[in-house]
Amino acid sequence: MRRPKTGSLLLDSSTLLAVIPTPPDHSSTAVIEEIPGLIKLHRNGHVERLPAMPEVPSTYSPEPGVVSGDVTINPSAGLWARVYVPRYPVRHQLPVLLYFHGGGFCVGSPAWRCYHNFLARLAGTAACVVVSASYRLAPENRLPAAYEDGVAALAWLRQQAGRAGADPGGWGWRARCDFGRVFVAGDSAGAAIAYSATAPDINPPARVRGLILIQPFFSEEARTSSERNLAQSAKSALTLAAADCYWRLSLPAGTNRDSIWCNPICDEGLKKMENRKMPTVLLCVAEMDILRDRNLEFCRALSRAGKRVELQMYGGVGHAFQILQNYSLSEVRTTELISDVKDFMSSSR
């Protein structure tokens, strides 16, 4: 028998069948939900988060007067926080600001550079210790998972107040904290988490003195005027289509946007609002945000329920302006927002 030429291969029919690749099943990997540039949900359940924002380590120092470090909240759940402490000497301990990032409950991290820069600046300018807490993301962990993690982060912060000795992380941040002056804050979805986290009765040693809600991400099935009519440019951080997709990805199966997980002023939400103990609220609203009118409705509901609320409106900017710096007036309005937060914390004694 003639030898095969060098480089050739003799295969029988069974071997041929074995090496022919099976065509991919595109039906199982098809994208069924997507927010371009941020997240894709595939039919087979795979979640693809795109590198929309760079992450930075805690050693990255955009503010020379502020030091930061990472601490663990719940290792089994993968929950952690980044803590920011002003370096400069102070006569007294500093108020503590527990902060939750935005991202529609689906994306985001305390390590995102945009949050790192903003919160380092906030800590230095407002003279406070900022604890930027993570939470479980949807759709892998649908609501109320993020709300539960917010409550857990506040409970963890209370535990730090009653502990002596070396603090988590081992770099002395806890000694700088006045746990009698705790504020809870967040932007967008993080503001919704902050509102939910302070719903249970909170007692000393970590008394919550104020609640700071920046463009809170709420919704319902009925549209507001700003949602219907406020045109969003390509640079907008939140379009109506993106907001709807975030809610489809994050709400529990079988619920819609009239759920209390989404709408704090639904009938059930209003009853809870009227009955709950609540510190003074600073509500920060962006004029060009599609959530503007919904935020204003929330403000009116708080007032009707007898809650103390301070409203600040930031003109000429839209959603997440203080994080993304995506408007010509972003820097000016961010300076104003940080000043408002500083004044609010100083007056809430």
Catalytic residues: 188
With 0-12 / 13-18 / 19 or more C-beta atoms within 10 angstroms meaning exposed / middle / buried, residue 76 is exposed
Sheet holding 31-35, edge to edge: 31-35, 39-42, 47-49
User: What would the two tokens of residue 317 be?
Assistant: 């900017």
User: Which residue bears the tokens 């003279």?
Assistant: 127
Report the C-alpha gap between 138 and 252 in whole angstroms. Answer: 10
293 Cβ partners below 8 Å, 6+ apart? 224, 225, 226, 227
Report the C-alpha gap between 180 and 182 in whole angstroms. Answer: 6
Which conformational region is residue 125 in: left (phi greater than 0), alpha (psi within -120 to 50 degrees), or beta? alpha
Of 293, 285, 271, the C-alpha closest to 314 is: 285
With 0-12 / 13-18 / 19 or more C-beta atoms within 10 angstroms meaning exposed / middle / buried, residue 44 is exposed
To the nearest 10 degrees (0 to 180), the angle between helices 330-347 and 113-126 is 50
Sheet holding 177-187, edge to edge: 66-74, 79-86, 129-133, 94-100, 177-187, 208-214, 280-286, 309-314
